[in-house]
Amino acid sequence: MLHDVAIVGAGLSGLVCARRLIDAGARAIVVEARPRVGGRLHTGRVGGAEVDLGGQWLSVDQPRLLALAGALGVASSPQPRAGRAALDDGRGLGLFGQLRAMIAQRRAMRRIDRLARAIPAGAPGEAADAAALDAIAVGPWLAGAVADPAARERIALHAELVFAVDLAGLSLLDYLARLGATGGFAPRGPDLPGGGRDHRFVGGAQRLALALADGLGAAVRLGEPVQAIETAGAGGALTVRGSAGSHAARRVVLALPPPLAIRIAPDLPAPLHRLAAAIQRGAVVKCFAAYDRAFWRDAGLSGEAYRPRGTVRAVVDASPPDGAAAVLLAFVLGAAAEAWQRRDPADRRGEVLAALGELFGDAALTPRDYLEADWAADPWSAGCVASTPPGALAAGAVWRGAHGRIHLAGTEAAVRWPGYMEGAIEAGERAAADALAALALGARCHVKPTS
């Protein structure tokens, strides 16, 4: 059968793309390597509670994600934040030192936000000073730009939590472009319905992908890793060649992380191959500890904690709203996450629980259940977060658009909120609209290309 469009990747972006295509009357198929849909959205269980092993938050100024969840009937609830967050900076700054660091931090954040707003959305290579910004790494730049050590560490921690890489190897242009595309340090907008600026999806964010896939039925093919996109198919069709057979299509959408996409699409332009080859795969391990009760709230703590140094860099309260368990989620990033699988599991667990004990007391040392999700070890994700080292962006290549009969989707192809669910939806919508226009089916579709 000749399909109008074959989509490679059944993450949120690929499924949104397929839904738009099929709703417009196109013959589309989704081919996915994993035995499940969702990509970097995956729901697991710890201590009887459902938790997000991958992407999890709906944030303010993310209208596409909010609208999609509403259309699919997937409810959300505010991220638990009542109480104090713990900042373990290990400096013993005292009240005056804390005040000085806070003032310096806010001043630096305002300056960084101004720089970020000057980067053209979706086209960092077109910035007036793109070459100069792309030649600098974030780490050395912060060392010179933020004099107060505590303020500098806190801003660096924010960048590490976003990119999950060593800041000595992160392009300043990439850092500023991502900040600008996601609204800066404090995206503007009203609180989400029900309160709060960040929500989680009840039952897990993977419910979005599952609901989309339910509506696509047999169009979604799971457990079929794609090995190559061949352009010399019969009648000019493209051939999506996989381990379980081949699919012919007039056009192909790659809803994959760039490093995976270039493995199977050698005919993409050379600048895109160079860009994708330069992309760094940010490593993240999410470590969940489940307890019978949220004891940290008794001490007036929110369950949030931030540590500029150490293996565990941040903690949040991941307890589900149904009270099935009280859950703390600890994040391990970068080099520590890359080496995680090579360590003894008992040692890993012990180090995470020891960090939780330091932050929240001895009750954190003895959870009733424990679970890890290591995205650096997932062969179909290419890490968790994409970033570039100095020198990769100023040449002007962007991971977006149509290249011949191949369209690029996936969250890395977004103009706004790249790396997030919001960006995945935008990129999927754009790829669908572009493919429909090329197939001359656009008149039957209400989707318009997004900018």
Handedness of CA 21, 24, 28, 29 (dihedral sign): positive
d(CA 361, CA 354): 9
The arrangement of strands across the sheet holding 76-78 comes to 57-59, 198-201, 76-78
Pairing relation of β-strands 220-221 and 84-87? unpaired
Distance of CA 153 to the CA centre of its chain: 23
d(CA 174, CA 176): 6
Q: What is the secondary structure of 251-303 as a DSSP string?
A: EEEE-S-HHHHHHH-TTS-HHHHHHHHH-EEE-EEEEEEEESS-GGGGGTEEE
Classify residue 80 by its DSSP letter: P
Instruction: Say if CB 200 and CB 65 are below 8 A apart.
Output: no
Residue 233 has pLDDT above 70, yes or no: no
Across residues 12-37, what is the average pLDDT?
97
d(CA 384, CA 230): 28
d(CA 141, CA 162): 17
H or E stretch at 94: helix 94-117
User: Within 13 Å of residue 96, how many CA atoms lie on the same side as its CB?
Assistant: 0
Residue 95 has pLDDT above 70, yes or no: yes
Lowest mean pLDDT among 71-75, 311-315, 320-324: 320-324
Instruction: Say if CB 398 and CB 125 are below 8 A apart.
Output: yes
171 residue type, one letter: S
* Backbone angles phi and psi of 330, in degrees to 5: -105, 140
Instruction: Say if CB 11 and CB 208 are below 8 A apart.
Output: no
Across residues 268-295, what is the average pLDDT?
96
Q: Quick one: CA torsion of 106, 110, 115, 117, rounded to 10 degrees?
A: 130
* Backbone angles phi and psi of 331, in degrees to 5: -105, 130
Structure tokens at 119: 């980067």
Residue closest to 349 by CA, chosen among 89, 46, 51, 90: 46
H or E stretch at 240: strand 238-242
Helix/strand/coil percentages in the chain, nearest 5: 40, 25, 35
* pLDDT per position as a tens digit, 316-341: 999 999 888 999 999 999 999 999 99
**Could you tell me which residues come within 8 angstroms of residue 4 by beta carbon, excluding any fewer than 6 positions away?**
21, 26, 27, 28, 249, 250, 251, 435, 439, 441
Residue closest to 381 by CA, chosen among 223, 278, 255, 252: 255
Beta strands in 62-124 (DSSP E): 76-78, 84-87
d(CA 189, CA 210): 29
- pLDDT, residue 88, reads 66
* pLDDT per position as a tens digit, 137-147: 999 999 999 99
- pLDDT, residue 243, reads 86
Q: What is the pTM of this model?
A: 0.94
Structure tokens at 45: 């269980």
* pLDDT per position as a tens digit, 349-398: 999 999 999 999 999 999 999 999 999 889 898 778 899 999 999 988 99
* pLDDT per position as a tens digit, 177-210: 999 999 999 888 888 988 888 999 999 999 999 9
Across residues 164-175, what is the average pLDDT?
96
Q: How many CB atoms lie within 10 A of CB 70?
A: 12
How much is the mean pLDDT over the chain? 93
C-alpha to C-alpha distances, 79 to 30, 200, 320, 346, nearest whole angstrom: 33, 6, 9, 30
d(CA 65, CA 379): 26
300-338 core/surface letters (b: 16 or more CB in 10 A; e: else): ebbbbbbbbeebbbbbbbbbbeeebbbbbbbbbbbebbb
d(CA 29, CA 247): 9
Structure tokens at 302: 């929110």
Residue closest to 315 by CA, chosen among 85, 37, 25: 85
